[in-house]
Structure 1
Amino acid sequence: MRPEPIGIGRGMFGQVIRLRLTYSQRLPGDPVSLVLKTPAGSAGNRAQAIAFDMYTREACFYRELAPTLRLSVPRCYFARVDPDTGEAILVLEDLGRLQSGDQVGGLDASRARTAVTRLAAAHAQWWDAEALRRFSWLPSLDSPVMRRLERLYGRQWPAFIDAYGAHLPAGSAQLGARVAGCVDEVLVRLSRPPATLVHGDFRADNLYFAARRDDDAVVVADWQVVSRGRAAFDVAYLLCQSMTSDVRRRHEWALLRSWHATLVACGVTGYSFGDALADYSVGLLLAVVYAVVGATLDRGDERGIALARAQAARTFTAALDSSQPLE
C-alpha cells in the first residue's frame, strides 16, 4: 500500500490521502486505490469541526443515509467515530477517474446546471419528510450547534474585514455588519417547513464530473455539514461561491428555474418559484456567514488563500445583488 496526499488547498476540516493498493490475489471488482479521510491537521480547524459535530455528521451520513440517497456519492467502505473525541475516520471510493470542479476558476453554466438538477432529486426525496428527524445526529439549521455561528461570526468579522476587505465590492462592510445582528434569524428562516436534506457545503471543489461533456453524471463528496433545512440554501451556496460573478449573473435565473422545475418533476408540490427565490435570497445571507467564518481558518497553501478570496468576493457580490431585505 502506497499513500499519496491529495486535496491540498481544497478543504479545511479534513486530510485526504489516496491509498494505492497491492494484492497477493486481486479479485474482480477489487479497487486499485481508496481514499482515507481523517480530521484536519490544523488544531484550530479540527477544534471548529468538532464543535460543529462535522466528523460525526459525515460518518453517520455515509452509514445511514448515503445508501438510499437519489444522488451519486462516494462509496464508503468504512466509517468510525470516536465518541470521546468526536473525530472520525473514513475509507471512501477514490474518485480520481473523474474531474473535480475548480472553485477558484469557477464552474460554467452547463456544469452548474448538472449539479443543481442532480441535487434537486435528493432534495425532493426528503422534502418535508418527518422521517429525517429520526436521525439524531442530523441537526436542523437552527439547532443549538448551528446557532454557535452567530457568536463565531461576530468574533471573526473584524479579522475578516481586515484581511479581505480590499478584495470585496463596495457596500460589503455595511452588509457584513448588518448580517452580524441577524444570523439567528437567517437560520430560523432557513429551517421552517418544508425542510429537507441539505448538503451544506455544496461547492465546486466537492463535485466530481465525468470527463466527457456529454455525460451529465456528477458525484457529490464532503458531507461534513449535512443538515435539515430549506433546500435553496444549497443552490445559493453553489452559485454565489462556485461561479464567477459575471457568469452567475448571466445564468442565475435559468439555473434556479432548472432546479425548481426538477423539484416539481420529482413530485414536490406547494412550493412556488417565488418561494424558491425568497429562500435563495436568505440562503445568500447564510453563505455570507460561512464565507466570513471560513476565511479566517488555516487555509494551508496559496491555492487555499486564493479560494478564500474568491469565496469572499463572490459571496458578498451575490448578496449585494440580491434584493432580499435584512430584518
Structure 2
Amino acid sequence: MDRIIDDPLAITPTWLEGQLRCISSFKDLKVTTVETETIGAATGFLSRIARLTPTYGAKAPQAPSTLILKVQTNREGFTDVAERLQAFERELGFYKDFAPDLQARLPRVFGGYAEGGKGWILMEDLSAWSQGDQVFGISHDQVKSTLKIMAAVHAGYWQCDQLGMKSWLPCHDFWFHDDLGVTWATIKKSYALRLGEAAVALIDRVVNNYENLIEELDRLPQTLVHGDLRADNLLLSSPASSGSDVIVIDWQTVTRSLACIDLAFLIGGSEPTAERHGHAQDLLRFWHQQLVAHGVCDYPYQQALHHLRLALLICLAVPIVAFKELDGPSFHSAREAQLAECFLFRHTQAALDWSAEIALQD
C-alpha cells in the first residue's frame, strides 16, 4: 500500500479506500469508483497534483467529496532537485511534527509516504480558494496577511531546540543554494542593460561572497522557515484582491534558518515593485510587531532590518538558480520565461530598494 505512485491518474478505488480506512472515522468506508484529473501543471516543479473524486458505497456524510493527491515530479532535472532536497520527507515531516501545533489554517492530510524526494500526500481539496500567481504577484495587503501567519510560525519555534532533534529537518538547506558564477555570467549577457549598473555590481558582489553570506546564518537566530514563500505557494480567499485570508501550502523546502529568509523571498519575489513603492518599510515593521506580540522580546527592529538586508542578498540567488533550473534562456514555455524574469527583476529591485548592500559592508 505504501509504495511510490508513478501515475496519479491510475489511482484505484481499492487504493483510495485503503488509505481512508486508516482514519478511525472512515474505517468502514467503501469506495466504489474514483475519477482523477491533473491540476496545477503550470506551477508545480517538485511535484504533480491530481484531484480525486470518489463515490462511496453507502452514506458517508463526513467523507470528502474530493481530495488532492500530490506525487513526485517526473520532469527531467527537477527529479534531481527533489531528491537532493528530500522534498517529500520534509513535507510529511512538517505535517506530522509541526502542523498540529500551529494555529494557521492548513490542509488536512489523510495519508502519505516518502522516500526522500519521492512520495505522495493525500490531502484536503482547497480549490475553493484561489491560488496565487507568481507572475501576476500579490497585493500589499496579501503580503501582510501572509507575514501575519508566518510571524506566528517563526515565533513559535524561535531558537527552539526541538528543531535540531528532527532528523528530516536540515539547516539552511535552500533549493537556491548553488554554485552561481556560471549561470550569472550567462544571465548578464542577456539582462545587464535592463538590470542597470547598480544591480549588476551588487549581484557580482553577492556571487563572489555567497558562501560567506550563507556561513553568517549559523551565527544568527534560527526558527522554522518555509524556504519557498511565494505567490504560487499561497491560497487566497475570494475575492483574491481582498487579502483578508491566506493559506500557506507546499512545505517541501521547510528548513531551520533565519526567519527573514521568508520575508525576503515573499517581499522580493511576489510583491510587484509598483505595489510596494512608498510603503515597503511597514512590511518589516508589521512582521516585527507580530513577532513581538507572540513573545519574541529580545529581537530589536534594527537587528531585524539588518537580517532582512542579509536575506535579500542571499535571495538574489533565487533568480539565478531559477534561470538555470528552468533551462534559460531556452525556456520551455512563455510562462517559465515570465517566471524567470519576474524573479530576476523583483528580487534585484527589492535588494536595491532596501539598501541591502549595507549588509555586505558590516
Q: Structure 2-normalised TM-score? A: 0.82
2:138 to 96, 107, 131: 107
Q: Which amino acid aligns with 2:158?
A: W
Alpha carbons of 1:78 and 1:256: their partners in 2 closer, same or farther (altered >3 Å)?
Answer: same
Aligned-pair CA distance for 1:3: 1.9
Aligned-pair CA distance for 1:241: 0.6
The match for 1:309 is: 341
The match for 1:232 is: 260
Aligned-pair CA distance for 1:148: 8.8
Q: Which moved more, 1:119-128 or 1:192-201?
A: 192-201
The match for 2:49 is: 16
CA distance in structure 2 between the aligned counterparts of 1:267 and 1:243, rounded to whole angstroms: 28
Percent of paired sites with the same residue: 32
CA distance in structure 1 between the aligned counterparts of 2:164 and 2:53, rounded to whole angstroms: 39
1:31 aligns with 2:59: no
1:216 aligns with 2:248: no
Aligned-pair CA distance for 1:188: 2.6
Aligned-pair CA distance for 1:18: 1.5
Is the Cα contact below 8 Å between 1:70 and 1:125 reproduced in 2? Answer: no
CA distance in structure 1 between the aligned counterparts of 2:153 and 2:134, rounded to whole angstroms: 22
Counting matched residue pairs gives 321
Aligned-pair CA distance for 1:219: 1.1
CA distance in structure 2 between the aligned counterparts of 1:25 and 1:162, rounded to whole angstroms: 63
2:280 to 238, 249, 252: 252
Alignment RMSD? 2.2
Q: Which moved more, 1:227-236 or 1:160-169?
A: 160-169
The match for 1:275 is: 303
Is the Cα contact below 8 Å between 1:169 and 1:316 reproduced in 2? Answer: no
CA distance in structure 2 between the aligned counterparts of 1:264 and 1:76, rounded to whole angstroms: 31
Aligned-pair CA distance for 1:158: 2.8
SS of equivalent residue, structure 2 residue 45: coil
SS of equivalent residue, structure 1 residue 20: strand
Unaligned runs of 5+ in 2: 1-33
The match for 2:118 is: 87
SS of equivalent residue, structure 1 residue 43: coil
Equivalences for residues 117-132 of structure 1 within 5 A: 117-132=148-163
The match for 1:188 is: 215
Is the Cα contact below 8 Å between 1:192 and 1:229 reproduced in 2? Answer: no
CA distance in structure 2 between the aligned counterparts of 1:26 and 1:214, rounded to whole angstroms: 37
Aligned-pair CA distance for 1:193: 3.8
Q: What do the CA deviations read for 1:10-54 (whole angstroms, capped 9, x no partner)?
A: 232211112222222242221111111122221211112212222
Q: Which amino acid aligns with 2:223?
A: T
Equivalences for residues 294-305 of structure 1 within 5 A: 294-298=322-326, 301-305=333-337
Is the Cα contact below 8 Å between 2:174 and 2:253 reproduced in 1? Answer: no
Equivalences for residues 23-62 of structure 1 within 5 A: 23-62=56-95
Q: Could you say which structure has the greater relative contact order, defined with CA pairs below 8 angstroms and 6 or more residues apart?
A: 1
The match for 1:293 is: 321
CA distance in structure 2 between the aligned counterparts of 1:306 and 1:266, rounded to whole angstroms: 38
The match for 2:19 is: none
Aligned-pair CA distance for 1:121: 0.7
Is the Cα contact below 8 Å between 1:36 and 1:90 reproduced in 2? Answer: yes
Instruction: Flag the structure with larger Rg.
Output: 2
CA distance in structure 1 between the aligned counterparts of 2:207 and 2:79, rounded to whole angstroms: 24
CA distance in structure 2 between the aligned counterparts of 1:167 and 1:8, rounded to whole angstroms: 30
Alpha carbons of 1:29 and 1:166: their partners in 2 closer, same or farther (altered >3 Å)?
Answer: farther
The ranges of structure 1 where at least 4 consecutive aligned residues each deviate by more than 4 angstroms after the TM superposition are 145-148, 162-167, 212-215
Alpha carbons of 1:214 and 1:48: their partners in 2 closer, same or farther (altered >3 Å)?
Answer: closer
Q: Which amino acid aligns with 1:29?
A: Q
Q: Which moved more, 1:50-59 or 1:155-164?
A: 155-164
Q: Which amino acid aligns with 2:52?
A: L
Q: Structure 1-normalised TM-score? A: 0.90
CA distance in structure 1 between the aligned counterparts of 2:168 and 2:210, rounded to whole angstroms: 22
The match for 2:106 is: 73
Aligned-pair CA distance for 1:222: 0.7
SS of equivalent residue, structure 1 residue 156: helix
Q: Which moved more, 1:169-178 or 1:215-224?
A: 169-178
Q: Which moved more, 1:187-196 or 1:15-24?
A: 187-196
CA distance in structure 1 between the aligned counterparts of 2:186 and 2:107, rounded to whole angstroms: 36
Aligned-pair CA distance for 1:317: 1.1
The match for 2:21 is: none
